[in-house]
Amino acid sequence: MLTLQTWIVHVLFIFFTTESVGELLEPCGYIKPESPVVQLGSNFTAVCVLKEKCMDYFHVNASYIFWKTNHLTVPKEQYTTINKTASSVTFTDTSSLNTQLTCNIRTFGQIDQNVYGIRIISGLPPEKPKNLSCIVNEGKKMMCQWDPGRETYLETNFTLKSEWATEKFADCKTKRDTPTSCTVDYSPVYFVNTEVWVEAENALGKVTSDHINFDPVDKVKPNPPHNLSVSNSEELSSILKLTWINSSIQDFIRLKYNIQYRTRDSSVWNQIPPEDTASTRSSFTVQDLKPFTEYVFRIRCMKEDGKGFWSDWSEEASGITYEDRPSKAPSFWYKIEPSHTHGYRSVQLIWKTLPPFEANGKILDYEVTLTRWKSRLQNYTVNETKWTVNITNDRYIATLTVRNLVGKSDAAVLTIPAYDFKATRPVRDLKAFPKDNMLWVEWTAPNESVNKYILEWCVLSDKSPCIPDWQQEDGLVHRTYLRGNLAESKCYLITVTPVFADGPGSPESIKAYLKQAPPSKGPTVRTKKVGKNEAVLEWDQLPVDVQNGFIRNYTIFYRTIIGNETAVNVDSSHTEYTLSSLTSDTLYMVRMAAYTDEGGKDGPEFTFTTPKFAQGEIEAIVVPVCLAFLLTTLLGVLFCFNKRDLIKKHIWPNVPDPSKSHIAQWSPHTPPRHNFNSKDQMYSDGNFTDVSVVEIEAANDKKPFPEDLKSLDLFKKEKISTEGHSSGIGGSSCMSSSRPSISSSDENESAQNTSGTVQYSTVVHSGYRHQVPSVQVFSRSESTQPLLDSEERPEDLQLVENTESSAGSFPRQQYFKQNCSQRDTSPDISHFERSKQVSSVNEEDFVRLKQQMSDISKPFEAGQMKMFQEISVADAFGPHTDGLVEGFETVGMEAAVDEGMPKSYLPQTVRRGGYMPQ
């Protein structure tokens, strides 16, 4: 009871729930048609009908309806309000395959409410199936296929229907994956006409193909014959007999056959004439085959009247025809090999193995006969394809036959000429060219009748020797191809030798390639000579192994780093080329490519630089310059030589040796000019080149001017004060060198006055002529040796300092200063004024003195400057102690003083006059 109540409650719950949901899901209207399938391109009209209840609820009518397709509102022009509750929409030329169409209303003026929706499926009705055909595979059921026509975009069913005149068979429904064919489920019955057609049907229509009516036996594809076998005949080497078993269909239909055969190594099938196999049979004899050749056969069949289909090919079967005697003599040739036996030659007879189609069986051996001229025949049996024999230098005739199981071939005859035979009559116009992937050789036959031609060829290589292969051609042939295993990109040397009845003719050779290719390596270019504007390039011919073809030309590419590349074509016969119009002093990069008929290959790049000057250009500049310099020098030397006295006078005046002076010979009355010779004699051991003597005429004025005297007096005092003081050489000689001329003592004053210039002076501590001098004597020297250390001893320096300290009272100090320093010139002026005063006696001499002075002073000015620069540098760079600096300064002082020395010569000269002995 409780169970019953529970069950009732459940039922009621479900009922009310369903009712309420139904109320909620109930649409406001509906669209007609519900599930339309529309033909593409046709018109379609849908009607939306609103329910009264909905219209009242939403206060709408059919005019509120609007349509949407795929969520896009349809233009109102396509709407039609049929009545208060129904509105229709019309689409013309529907092109969309699958369209969602919804009917909508706008409630309360703004809310769009979907009323109903449908999906419009578009497509095309099926086309009439075409090309219906059927096939009956023997032992299987009939299968028909057809062309379904255009795409319908709809699910289309194809049904194959078939019937006899008295009976209908079950329909054959196509499977989804094979909609264009169908295999019936009943066994075919032959000799009863069957009518077959196809029905194609989809939502838009049904169409039927044309009916075909046929006897299934006319659509049969038989099973191929099986158990095909081949047998030969010992009687006939050219036939093979085929036997096979036909398929069971031959029990009630007649068959015809196709029989095909080929040799084992061929891929091309030959066919027995169809008319020979146009009837049912189970065997066939194939004729006109080659002896001892393996043939492969296959067979197929079909209904004799040609209706139906050919069966598949049977499995292949093969058989070998029986042997026959060799049909041709083998190719026969010889090679002469050097022999060490005098009067004999070693001859290697060579021949080719007959190809199977000529051997006609298994070759057992070869029989060679050798006949010397007018001598008996010798027989030899050889198993190989060559035979070497020593023969005399006479003419021989060799024959060769080949033997198999059935018999012997014809004999090949070869004449081996005598040793001294001179071959002539070569072939003419020998050509070799590739064609159809074969290397063809063509020639013009000699005028005489040729028995045969021997073609020999080998690969030319730098690495391996030429190993020739050969072949024989009939005497009537003048064009053939090389039947060896030729390789591409290899250079073949081909030789054609005609063979006459009396022996071989003269061979002719030619080179050829089966197929050319670009060189595998480019030529390596280098410079042979590089000029300012040209470069001679040279290269080696490419080795034949890398040529890969005939080198037709070279191309030289050269460029600068920034310039464009220039290409020059060069004939292949050249091995050097001159690049002209190059820019000097430029880096050039050059490479070279070699070209065959098939392309080129670049070689490595080579770099060279053109020189700045052409060869000889430098010499052309330098040599004239050198010559000019040399000439100038020579002229200068000549000039100097001519003027040597004058030059010597100004540069290296002879300095009289005071030690050899004779004061006694000084005579105030000696005439200034004509006494010169006597002076010269007097100083014969000296090298005076010139002596300037300033003579002061004492006769006119026996007493010197008071100023002169005064100055003389001062000089004397200076001399006294400076006696014993050392003077340096060079820089330090400024003072010291002047001393002898200035500090002339009574004894040597006159001697010193005879010298024009003094470069160096040395303090001589010894006395004159071994006498102990009471005072220090200065002796002149031309040495340029630097000062000795002893000459720079502190005591000397001290003396100098003392001298300097006391020099302020001496005009001489000013005199030296003005000569050693350029900064203070006023004393010099005064000096000259004084000199002028002194020398005013003789204006002529004075002028000469000035010239000497200017000549001498010039080089020393430079030396003076230099010395000051050195000092200043030393001062600037040396981290010297004060003492050292002082030392340098001291030396510098001395140098400064000393460098002024040459200038001091002039006053000496001036003073000479002033020192005129009184």
Partner 1 sequence: MKVLAAGVVPLLLVLHWKHGAGTPLPITPVNATCATRHPCHSNLMNQIRNQLAQLNGSANALFILYYTAQGEPFPNNLDKLCGPNVTDFPPFHANGTEKTRLVELYRIIAYLGASLGNITRDQKVLNPNALSLHSKLNATADILRGLLSNVLCRLCNKYHVAHVDVAYGPDTSGKDVFQKKKLGCQLLGKYKQVIAVVAQAF
Among 108, 252, 641, 877, binds partner 1 (CB under 8 A): 252
Distance CA 132, CA 207 (A): 14
The values of phi and psi at residue 340, to 5°, are: -85, -10
**Tokens matching residue 1:** 């009871």
DSSP state of 800: H
Q: How many residues bind partner 1 (CB under 8 A)?
A: 20
How far is residue 866's CA from residue 843's CA, in Å, rounded to a whole number? 35
Minimum Å gap between C-beta 189 and partner 1 is 4
CB of residue 134 to partner 1, shortest distance in Å: 16
Using rule CB under 8 A, residue 251 touches partner 1: yes
Residue for token pair 């008319």:
275
Nearer to partner 1, 208 or 584 (CB): 208
Per-residue string for binding with partner 1, 34-73, x by CB under 8 A?
----------------------------------------
Residue 199 beta carbon to partner 1: minimum distance, rounded to whole angstroms:
16
Q: How far is the CB of 158 from partner 1 (least distance, A)?
A: 21
The reply to whether 7 sits near partner 1 by the rule CB under 8 A is no
Q: How far is the CB of 251 from partner 1 (least distance, A)?
A: 4
> Which residues inside 391-450 make contact with partner 1, applying CB under 8 A?
none
In the complex, minimum distance from the CB of residue 84 to partner 1, in angstroms, rounded to a whole number: 57
Is 538 a binder of partner 1 (CB under 8 A)? no
Window contacting partner 1 (CB under 8 A); options: 99-107, 158-166, 411-419, 492-500 = 158-166
Rounded (10°) CA dihedral 536, 541, 546, 552:
90
Closest CA to 557 of 602, 518, 597: 602
- Cβ(74)–Cβ(96) under 8 Å? no
Minimum CB distance to partner 1, residue 169 (Å): 11
Nearest C-alpha neighbor of 525 from the set 467, 589, 448, 573: 589
Query: What tokens does 391 get?
Result: 């023969």
Element (H, E) at 196: strand 194-202
Answer for which of 1, 2, 24, 165 binds partner 1 (CB under 8 A) is 165
> Which of 281, 395 has the CB closer to partner 1?
281
Binder to partner 1 among 213, 283, 678, 783 (CB under 8 A)? 213
**Alpha carbon distance 254, 278 (integer Å):** 9
For residues 780 and 760, the answer to whether their CB atoms sit within 8 Å is: yes
Report the site for partner 1 in 562-601 (rule: CB under 8 A). Answer: none
Shortest distance in whole angstroms from residue 220 CB to partner 1: 13
Q: Which residue in the set 127, 138, 215, 508 belongs to the binding site for partner 1 (CB under 8 A)?
A: 215
d(CA 277, CA 116) in angstroms, rounded, equals 76
Minimum Å gap between C-beta 186 and partner 1 is 8
Residue 15 or 164 with smaller CB distance to partner 1: 164
Nearer to partner 1, 192 or 626 (CB): 192
Determine the Cα–Cα distance for residues 729 and 786; give it in Å rounded to an integer.
6
Question: Which residues neighbour 662 within 8 Å (Cβ) at sequence distance 6 or greater?
Answer: 682
Residue closest to 519 by CA, chosen among 603, 460, 575, 438 = 603
Rounded Cα gap, residues 475 and 451, in angstroms: 5
| Of the residues 52, 167, 275, 789, which one makes contact with partner 1 according to CB under 8 A | 167
Q: Would you say 317 and 336 are in contact if contact means Cβ atoms under 8 Å apart?
A: no
723 contacts 764 by C-beta, under 8 angstroms? no
Q: What residue type is assigned to position 879 of the chain? A: P
- Scanning residues 273 to 292, which ones bind partner 1 (CB under 8 A)? none
Instruction: Candidates 53-61, 211-219, 360-368, 604-612: pick the segment binding partner 1 (CB under 8 A).
Output: 211-219
Token duo for residue 443: 């020639």
Q: Which is nearer to partner 1, 162 or 736 (CB)?
A: 162
Q: Does 163 bind partner 1 (CB under 8 A)?
A: yes
How far apart are alpha carbons 33 and 42 in whole angstroms? 15
Smallest gap, in angstroms, from Cβ of residue 14 to partner 1? Answer: 52
When asked if residue 626 is in the footprint of partner 1 (CB under 8 A), the reply is no
The least distance separating partner 1 from the CB of residue 66, rounded to whole angstroms, comes to 56
Compare residues 134 and 853 and give the one whose CB is closer to partner 1: 134
Kind of pairing, strands 72-73 and 65-69?
Answer: antiparallel
Contact between 304 and partner 1 per CB under 8 A: no
Q: Which is nearer to partner 1, 21 or 192 (CB)?
A: 192
Stretch that binds partner 1, among 160-168, 482-490, 662-670, 750-758 (CB under 8 A): 160-168
Q: Which CB atom, from 251 or from 789, has the smaller least distance to partner 1?
A: 251
Considering only the stretches 207-215, 264-272, 622-630, 666-674, report the one whose residues sit in contact with partner 1 under the rule CB under 8 A. Answer: 207-215
Nearer to partner 1 by C-beta: 178 or 187?
187
> Segment near partner 1 (CB under 8 A), from 249-257, 326-334, 757-765, 809-817?
249-257
Closest listed residue to residue 180, CA positions, set 152, 157, 155, 205: 157
Of residues 536, 541, 712, the one with CA closest to residue 608: 536
Structure tokens given for 896: 């400064």
Question: By CB under 8 A, which span of 162-170, 601-609, 656-664, 864-872 interacts with partner 1?
Answer: 162-170
- Residue 836 in 3-state DSSP? helix
Q: Assess 164 for contact with partner 1 (CB under 8 A).
A: yes
Q: How far apart are CA 96 and CA 90, in angstroms?
A: 14
Min CB(214)–partner 1 separation in Å: 9
Query: Token pair for residue 356?
Result: 């199977």
Nearer to partner 1, 101 or 249 (CB): 249
Q: Which is nearer to partner 1, 141 or 362 (CB)?
A: 141
C-alpha 539/C-alpha 95 separation (Å) is 78
Nearer to partner 1, 193 or 872 (CB): 193
Spell out a b/e string for 750-765, using b for 16 or more CB atoms within 10 Å of the CB, else e.
Answer: bbbbbbbbbbbbbbbe
Burial of 429 (0-12, 13-18, 19+ CB in 10 A): exposed
Q: DSSP letter string over 400-458?
A: EEEEESS-B-PPEEEEE--TT-------EEEEEEEETTEEEEEEE--SS--SEEEEEEE
Q: Taking CB under 8 A as the criterion, which residues in 177-206 touch partner 1?
A: 187, 189-193, 195
Return the residues of window 484-503 that contact partner 1 according to CB under 8 A: none
Helices (runs of H) and strands (runs of E) counted in the chain: 17, 50
In whole angstroms, the minimum distance from the beta carbon of 76 to partner 1 comes to 57
Q: Looking at beta carbons only, is 211 or 362 nearer to partner 1?
A: 211
- Residues 404 and 330 sit within 8 Å (Cβ to Cβ): no
Residues in contact with partner 1 by the rule CB under 8 A: 163-168, 187, 189-193, 195, 211, 213, 215, 217, 251-253
